[in-house]
Amino acid sequence: MDLLDKYKKIWNNHPKDTREFSSEEIYKLAHSKSSSIVKWIFIIGLIEFVVLNSSCFFIDMSEALSMYKKMGLIKFIYYSQIIFYIIVFYFLMTFYKNYKKISTTDSIQTLMTKIIKTRKTVRNYVLFNLSYFVLIMIVVTIASINTNFDNLSHKEILIITIITIVITVLILAVLWLFYQLLYGILLKKLNTNYKKLADLNSEK
């Protein structure tokens, strides 16, 4: 008899667990709060949507608007904001649709694919926000140099450009690191298992 067949025989005589729950206890457990990673992805995703879109409440918008007016950027800001919110709405809809599709009754691989897809929507949303931030930084820097061109020396223009690039890169790096850390920790196990199953399917 094969070694595993022996263990299988023992497994077939598996005793009932000593911690068997009554139906009242199962009822309480079933109605308690879930701590699944899907729930966390949903909560973190929502926080990201809210935080990134509520930044205007922390910035003095009237001062920013008068500055844009002075630089002749008011039309650009107006139209880019409209496009920005249309894209944000699209991301929100996709995020919600993907989240609703997640079902534990799917096969293990399908479930993992759907979880990763939902997370990718949030990742793309963050990437979109960061790109928009970079675009605004570049446009504002160029406009402010243009506005004050006559008063600035070449050296000053160079310094302003370098400072803007450094600040932009620093902000991007910090945000990216935070983001990678957040989802890296949350999805470490899932990513490992997903890769194992994907490797399995790609094997000939």
Partner 1 sequence: MEKKLEREFLSDFEKNQNIAHKICRIYTTNQDDHNDLFQEITIQVWKSYSKFRRDAKFSTWMYRVALNTAISLYRKSTKRIKYQNIDDFAYKIKATDYDQTEEFQLEALYKAMHQLNDIDKALIYLYLENKPYEEISETLGISSINARVRMNRAKEKLKKILSP
Residue numbers of the site for partner 1 (CB under 8 A)? 3-4, 7-8, 10-23, 25-38, 40, 103-112, 115, 186, 189-190, 192-193, 196-197, 200-201, 203
| Tokens matching residue 157 | 């223009």
Q: Rank residues 12 and 54 by Cβ distance to partner 1 and give the closer one.
A: 12
CB of 5 to partner 1, least distance (A): 10
Spatial CA neighbour of 101 closest among 88, 115, 120, 91: 115
Q: Rank residues 109 and 147 by Cβ distance to partner 1 and give the closer one.
A: 109
CB of 38 to partner 1, least distance (A): 6
CB of 122 to partner 1, least distance (A): 17
- Decide if 182 contacts 51 (C-beta within 8 A): no
- Decide if 141 contacts 160 (C-beta within 8 A): yes
Helix ranges, the chain (H): 3-12, 23-30, 37-53, 61-71, 74-101, 108-147, 154-202
Q: Rank residues 18 and 151 by Cβ distance to partner 1 and give the closer one.
A: 18
CB of 101 to partner 1, least distance (A): 13
